[in-house]
Amino acid sequence: MAKCLQNLHTHSTYCDGKDTIEEMILAACEKGLRSIGFSSHAFWKGLPVPKQVIDNYKYEIAEFKKKFADKIEVFCGLECEMHGDMDLCGFDYLIGAVHYLPLGNEFVCFDWSAQDVQTIIQQYFGGDGMAYAKAYYQQLAQLPQHGSFDIIAHFDLITKHCEKVQFFDRSSKEYQWAAIEAAEQLAGKIPYFEVNTGAMARGYRTSPYPDMFLLKELKRLGFGAIISTDCHDSRFLDYGYQDAVEVLRECGFKEQFILTKDGFIPTEL
Ligand SMILES: [Zn+2]
Ligand SMILES: [Zn+2]
């Protein structure tokens, strides 16, 4: 069994996580991780998180970096929405994500439930699930316009609720082309993507994001892989790590990237 080295996609009580920063760090130490990074949501319920909250978050993580310096390396990151309008300086790394689609006059979150997805497809896409999927990938491809991101979060988040209800055909060429086109547009602009087991931990998916066809394309396009669990509960900090390693190997990856004080470095899988 491969041992989990690092998790850079974690949420605490600063957003929708269950545990405090300190509880997450203690759990990471217990599980033997060499480092942990926090990636609080910069945008929440359609609004930017207030500056004061982000400042407190940064301060608290800086304090715990010192407190735990001899036990584990702690990094301060952010999971950013493309329409967020905040100062993105002073973080160790930035994850770019799309959880909202600009529809009508508002940003609509498609991440919550299958019921919401159903409503969005009916209300905004005339019942056409494929048009909905394509709108997501068009948004994703625009990420670099909104910040200098290091990691693309859950590349095919749009598939989160698709295992129970088939909103669009994931095996169709039409769907896969939309995803591959986004990957081609992001290549050379955001260096890393994550293999994310978060939806497995929460019972939405039976395999990590992204789907295998997409992993192979990301490999072809030269993206580096980062394994994360998109953790909202310290019990799941290393959930599905072995699955992520196996799927990466199966798709031809020989290494994953780890964040260190000297930046991201490749490590053998
Ligand atoms: Zn996310
Ligand atoms: Zn997240």
More confident residue, 106 or 259: 259
Stretch 175-179: mean pLDDT, rounded?
Answer: 98
Q: How far is the CA of 98 from the centre of ligand 2 (A)?
A: 10
Residue 81: per-residue pLDDT: 85
**For the CA of 7, the nearest ligand:** 2
Give me the mean pLDDT over the 21-37 stretch. 97
Beta strands in the chain (DSSP E): 6-7, 35-41, 43-44, 47-48, 73-81, 93-97, 100-103, 106-109, 151-152, 192-196, 224-228, 255-260, 263-268
CA of 128 to the centre of ligand 1 (A): 24
In the reported structure, the alpha carbon of residue 111 is separated from the centroid of ligand 1 by a whole-number distance in angstroms of 8
Please give the pLDDT value at position 67.
Answer: 98
* DSSP single-letter state for residue 189: T
Burial of 222 (0-12, 13-18, 19+ CB in 10 A): exposed
132-166: pLDDT as tens digits: 999 999 999 999 999 999 999 999 999 999 888 99
For residue 109, what pLDDT band results from cuts at 50, 70 and 90? very high
| Average pLDDT score, the chain | 94
Residue 244's contacts (CB-CB under 8 Å, 6 or more residues apart) are 195, 197, 208, 227
Q: Which residues of 33-42 are buried (b: 16+ CB within 10 A; e: fewer)?
A: bebbbbbbbb
Which pLDDT band holds residue 59 (cuts at 50, 70, 90)?
Answer: very high
**Which is more confident, 84 or 90?**
90
CA of 227 to the centre of ligand 2 (A): 13
Separation CA 49–CA 59 (nearest Å): 15
Ion ligand 2: residues, CB < 5 A = 79, 230
Which domains does the chain carry?
6-268 (3.20.20.140)
Tell me what pLDDT residue 122 has. Answer: 97
Average pLDDT, integer, range 173-199:
97
Q: How many angstroms separate the alpha carbon of residue 196 from the centre of ligand 1?
A: 10
Ligand 2: distance of its center to the CA of 159 in Å?
Answer: 15
Distance (Å, whole) CA 225 – CA 253: 8
Q: What pLDDT is recorded for position 84?
A: 66
Q: What helix, strand, coil percent values describe the chain, rounded to 5?
A: 35, 25, 40
Closest by CA to 158, choosing from 198, 216, 100, 202, is 100
Burial of 143 (0-12, 13-18, 19+ CB in 10 A): buried
The pLDDT value given to residue 3? 87
Name the band, by pLDDT with cuts 50, 70 and 90, for residue 56: very high
SS3 of residue 231 by DSSP: strand
Give the global pTM.
0.96
Taking phi over 0 as left and psi of -120 to 50 as alpha, with beta for the rest, 86 belongs to beta
CB atoms within 10 A of CB 30: 10
Partners of 47 in the β-ladder: 44
Does 107 or 174 have the greater pLDDT score?
174
